[in-house]
Structures are given as C-alpha cells and as structure tokens.
Amino acid sequence: MTAPEATPRKRRSPEERRLEIASAAARIGLAEGLERITLRRVAEDVGVRPGLISHYFPEVDGLVATAFAHAAETERADMLAPDTTRPPDERVIALLDEVLSPASADFSRLWLNARIVSRYNALLRQSLAEQETLNRELLTALIRTGVETGDFVCASPERSALLILVLLDAASTYANEDVTEVTALVGALLFETAERELGLAPGALSARSAHLPPAAAPDPAS
C-alpha cells in the first residue's frame, strides 16, 4: 500500500502575500500596539522567515503604516461603508454607538496609539491623515444623503462631519482606562452635538442608542 501523495502548497501571489503580511501586522497592532510590530514578530505570526517580510516591507515604518491603514479600513467597513438599506439617522446612531461600544476599544486604542507614534514615523503620519480624510468624506456624504432625503437639516455637512469626528476622537481617548462616568458624559455630548448639527430634536438619536446610559439620554418629549 503506497502512501498518499502530499498535496502541494499553493504559492501565494505577491498581492496575496502582501495582504497576508498586512493583516498579521494589523492584528498585532490592534492587540499589542503599533510599537510591537517588527519584521521578526510579523514573520513569526505569518510562519515565514523575516527575510520574506523585509522583501515586501524593507523598513518597519512602512509596515507599521500599512498595518494601521489595513486596520482602519476594516473598521471603516463596519462603521461608515455606504448602505442604502438603512435610513441616514439609523446609520448615524450605529456609528456613534460603535465608538461607545466596548467592542471598539481596540480600534480606539489603535487610533490613539497611531497619533502618538506618527510623531516619529512620517509614513504613519501620512497614512493617518489619509484615513482621517476618508472617514470625513464618508460621513459628509452620509449627512448630505440625510439632507437630500429630508431626514437632516444641515447648512454645512463638511463642518458638521468634522465636528462629530472630533468628538468621536475625544470619546476614544478614554479607551485605555475604565472611566465609565466620564465616557457617559462624553457620549451624551456626542449625541447632543450630532442632533444639533443635523437639525434634529433633542433625544431623536440618543433615545435609540444601544450603549448610551439611559440617564445620559435626553427625553425626546422634554
């Protein structure tokens, strides 16, 4: 009886290998911090020699920047991807709730981490600016859609999108600590600001929040 022939391993294309490396680096960045991304550490995660990682990313700064972009794109696919199946107000609530959700803590820490590390990494600084611009453009488009459908009343979608994102960043700065009381206050301010900027009555969004504490959500009838 002859032994079965071993199935030959499929050779990955350069695009597939680069994506595999970026995904591994993003996982490390999310779980441990961007400072923990090294060629050797990523090689161990992928199961290859460090030389293969350096073939695609000769400098670790480029790998860190790519890892951050990959993680940010993953987050954006959940939070801001175009969606015609839900009305604009529901999409805004989902966005704000996602940031307040404990499940998003790793992404909040990643953005906070990226802003610090980017001071010493020009490639990461460029990537950070690009991801911020993409998020702002998508939120602006969402607000414009709401204005067109009559759900929102907003004179400057660009300004309102920027203000909401600034407050989202403020909420994420508490991701490293258990400061529930402070986060609740920031969350309430976040919803109140969104309602005001979008021409909605107080409580129109916050009353339907899945993560804002009930005491922090204004009563729509008041």
Name the packing angle between helices 157-172 and 122-149 (round to 10°): 130
Query: In the prediction, which pLDDT does 3 show?
Result: 47
Q: Number of structural domains, the chain?
A: 1
Residue 53 lies in a domain: no
Residue 110 lies in a domain: yes
Q: Find all residues with CB under 8 Å of 13, minimum gap 6, and list them.
A: none
**DSSP secondary structure string for all residues of the chain:** -PPPPPPPPPPPPHHHHHHHHHHHHHHHHHHH-GGG--HHHHHHHHTS-HHHHHHH-SSHHHHHHHHHHHHHHHHHHHHTS--SSS-HHHHHHHHHHHHHSGGGHHHHHHHHHHHHHTTS-HHHHHHHHHHHHHHHHHHHHHHHHHHHHTS---S-HHHHHHHHHHHHHHHHTTTTS--HHHHHHHHHHHHHHHHHHTT--TTTTGGG-SSS-GGGSPPTT-
**CATH number of domain containing 179:** 1.10.357.10
Residue 19 lies in a domain: no
Query: In the prediction, which pLDDT does 185 show?
Result: 77
Structural domain boundaries, residue 96: 71-216
Query: In the prediction, which pLDDT does 177 show?
Result: 62
Residue 8 lies in a domain: no
Residue 147 lies in a domain: yes
Query: In the prediction, which pLDDT does 92 show?
Result: 96
pLDDT tens digits along 184-206: 778 888 999 999 999 999 999 99
The model's pTM = 0.86
Residue 153 lies in a domain: yes
Q: Consecutive 10-residue runs of the chain (222 residues): their mean pLDDT?
A: 50 90 97 96 94 95 97 92 91 91 86 94 97 96 97 97 91 65 76 96 93 59 52
